[in-house]
Amino acid sequence: MRIARWIVPTVVLLAVAGRPAAAFAAEGSKDGRSGAIRSVQMQLHSRQPSVRLEAIKRLQDFPAMEAAKVMVPFALTDRAEEVRRAAYLTLLRWKDDPEVCALLLKALDREAHERKGGIALTAPLIAVLLASGLPKNETDLDEFLETYRAKAKESVAAITAVADELGKEDDEEALRSLQKMTRLKCFSEVFACRRATVQAIIRIRRPESIETLIALLPRVDGEVCSDIVRHLTQVSGERLGGDLPAWRGWWKKHKEEFEFPARGAKPPVGEVAPPGAASYYGLSLNARRIVFVVDISGSMEGPRLQAAKDELNKAIEGLANDVSFSVLVYNNVVTAWQRTLMPATPSNKRLAAQFVYTRRGAGRTATYDALEAAFQFDAEAIYLLSDGEPNLGKIVAPADIIAAISQGNRSRRISVYTIGIAPGVPDGPFDSFLRTLAEQNFGVYRRVDQ
């Protein structure tokens, strides 16, 4: 289930007609209060979003617990984005109320078992609890997320959705919530959660975010470390790689007068491997878990495929011992060297090289099927090499392949790097396909004319 934006201009809430602040208290009797609640509940079931917004406005005047019970889950899963946003902002007002936070945790626990509201419900509840200043909430939320991850496939998608929305907020409160996310177990244990959190912090253009990213460098590796280094390089103009003391020294020197570059400024090319580092067609091999995907269709046969084999085996030979990898080749069908990622030991490198060099070019190009197979691995990065447009497989149209892969990768955060071998005219159909596929999946496109 897709989570929609919670962000709607706050002025919408202020424009909603509602009763005065003392309205609920004025009901007086228990029957009067019950009547007020029933009235609001009826409004929340109206077909008109404006009426449902009015109900949220009225709930702001109710005692916090009474209002929260009414809003969770119905208002948070409303079909109108502005109503969901209004409910979220109202709950956020009570983020430090112990009773409300306990209610939200119970709602999360119930959702983990019943799974009725999905990400649309869990994500804003998690966000409110992250924003809370109550120390116990952080521990309780961490415990819940561990249980949730063990029970529900959509748990990681909910956590990454929270990070994405906080990154769009771009304010101090969002940064504080993201800093709390870095202390959760899921940050340490789940690549997608770790990467989504770092990517969200990168989006927050405040000096405190730079300090947070530098502090995170010792805790991350692979593609996540690369994300941080690339961002620091962009905002500083310095090329210090992963040198933590150097970044700390730079920040100490420039912290007081630091300013972010103008929005839209083109970042330096941080993906090109430095001399001596492991690379594949000049692209840095930063990930700790890699799948190489190579097109061996008929058009690749001959010198083109031989060059691709040589380049791939140089890349594999350069992998560090703490990296794990596999290789897929594809034409009409997809063939895997190994069905799990293997450590980059000397013996495994030799076996992979033997597998690669025995391949011959023949058949057609089932690109989607190859990518689908690559996503079955627990990878951080996929490197796709091809010389021609897809013409076979479960999905053939390039735009549909991009949409399917990008949608499925939203909660995985795997980098898809693409290498186009003689991809035709620049910005032509195949060239654009590979570029867009990479850009929409956290990767980079490399064009190889030959």
Quote the tokens at residue 277: 């580092």
Kindly tell me if the per-residue pLDDT of 3 is higher than 60.
no
Please choose, from the candidates 338, 406, 399, the residue with its C-alpha nearest in 3D space to the C-alpha of residue 371: 406
Give the C-alpha distances (Å, rounded to integers) separating 273 from 92, 224, 315, 442. Answer: 45, 16, 11, 17
Q: What is the mean pLDDT of residues 124-146?
A: 95
How far is it, in rounded angstroms, from Cα 195 to Cα 192? 5
- Residues 378-433: tens digit of each pLDDT: 999 999 999 999 999 999 999 999 999 999 999 999 999 999 999 999 999 999 99
Contact in structure between 449 and 422 (CB atoms under 8 Å): yes
How far is it, in rounded angstroms, from Cα 417 to Cα 382? 6
Beta carbons within 10 angstroms of residue 135's beta carbon:
8
Beta carbons within 10 angstroms of residue 385's beta carbon:
24
- Mode of pairing for the β-strands spanning 324-330 and 334-336: antiparallel
Give me the DSSP letters along 186-222: HHHH-HHHHHHHHHHHHH--SHHHHHHHHHHGGG--H
**Given pLDDT bands bounded at 50, 70 and 90, which one contains residue 266?**
low
Fold of the CATH domain 279-448:
Rossmann fold (3.40.50)
CA gyration radius for the chain?
25
Q: What is the mean pLDDT of residues 211-222?
A: 97
How far is it, in rounded angstroms, from Cα 222 to Cα 151? 27
- So what's the pLDDT on residue 265? 64
CA-based torsion, 259, 261, 263, 269: positive or negative: negative
Residues counted in the chain: 450
How far is it, in rounded angstroms, from Cα 398 to Cα 402? 6
Please choose, from the candidates 176, 182, 191, the residue with its C-alpha nearest in 3D space to the C-alpha of residue 223: 191
| C-alpha torsion 171→172→177→182, nearest 10 | 100
The one-character DSSP state at 413 is -
Q: Could you tell me how far CA 178 lies from the centroid of its own chain?
A: 13
Q: What are phi and psi of 445, to 5 degrees?
A: -100, 135
Kindly tell me if the per-residue pLDDT of 254 is higher than 60.
yes
Domain positions in the chain: 11-193, 205-267, 279-448
CA-based torsion, 145, 147, 149, 154: positive or negative: negative
How far is it, in rounded angstroms, from Cα 187 to Cα 213? 14
- So what's the pLDDT on residue 113? 85
Beta carbons within 10 angstroms of residue 367's beta carbon:
28
User: Of all residues in the chain, what percent carry a pLDDT higher than 70?
Assistant: 90
Q: What are phi and psi of 168, to 5 degrees?
A: -70, -25
SS3 69: helix
Please choose, from the candidates 285, 256, 259, the residue with its C-alpha nearest in 3D space to the C-alpha of residue 273: 285
Give CB contacts under 8 A, 24+ apart, made by 256-264: 258/207, 258/210, 260/205, 260/235, 261/234, 261/235
Kindly tell me if the per-residue pLDDT of 272 is higher than 70.
no
- H or E segment at 136? helix 135-151
User: Of all residues in the chain, what percent carry a pLDDT higher than 90?
Assistant: 83
